[in-house]
Amino acid sequence: MKPRHKRLALIAGGVAALGVAVALLLSAFQQNLVFFYTPTQILEGEAPRNRSFRMGGMVQPGSLQRQADGVTVAFVVSDTARQIKVQYKGILPDLFKEGKGVVAQGRLGEGMLFLADEVLAKHDENYMPPEAAYALKQGAAAQQAEDKK
C-alpha cells in the first residue's frame, strides 16, 4: 500500500471514529433529556406517555394524603387552570407544603395519575422553581382565555 493510501485510510478511520463518538454522545444526551410540562399540557396530551418528564405547579391546599405505609403520599398539583393527581413513594423534601410550588419528575400512569420518582420543593418563601413559575403563568393565561369565551 502506498503512503498516500495509508494516509487516506487513516483519515477515513479517524472520521468514522469521530462519527461513532458523536452518535454515542447524542444518544446518551437524548436518553437523559427531561422535558417540563404543565398540568394543562399533560391533560391536553402534549406530554409523552412512555418517557419520564417533569411536571410542576402549586400543591393544591387540602390535597395531601398519606397512605398507611407511611412512605406513599398523594397530592394534587395545579397550574391554576387544570389539576393532576400525583403519587409519590418516598420521603418528601422538608420544604414541601400545600399551597407552595413543586416540581415532580416521573411518568404518567393509568387514568392520568402522575407517578413521581422525585419531588422537588421550593427553597424559601421568595423562590419558586422557574418551571413552576412558568406553569402558573401559563395556567393563569389559559384560565383568562377560557373565562372570556
* pTM of this structure: 0.67
Amino acid identity of residue 97, one-letter, is: K
What local confidence, expressed as pLDDT, does residue 86 receive? 95
Residue pLDDT, tens place only, 92-110: 988 888 888 899 999 998 8
- The whole-number average pLDDT for the span 11-19 is 92
What local confidence, expressed as pLDDT, does residue 122 receive? 64
What local confidence, expressed as pLDDT, does residue 119 receive? 92
Q: Is the pLDDT of residue 51 over 70?
A: yes
Per DSSP (E only), the strands in 63-123 are 65-66, 72-78, 83-89, 101-108, 114-121
φ, ψ of residue 9 to 5 degrees: the values are: -65, -40
Q: Is the pLDDT of residue 124 over 60?
A: no
Cα dihedral 46, 134, 59, 71 in deg (nearest 10): 70
What local confidence, expressed as pLDDT, does residue 27 receive? 82
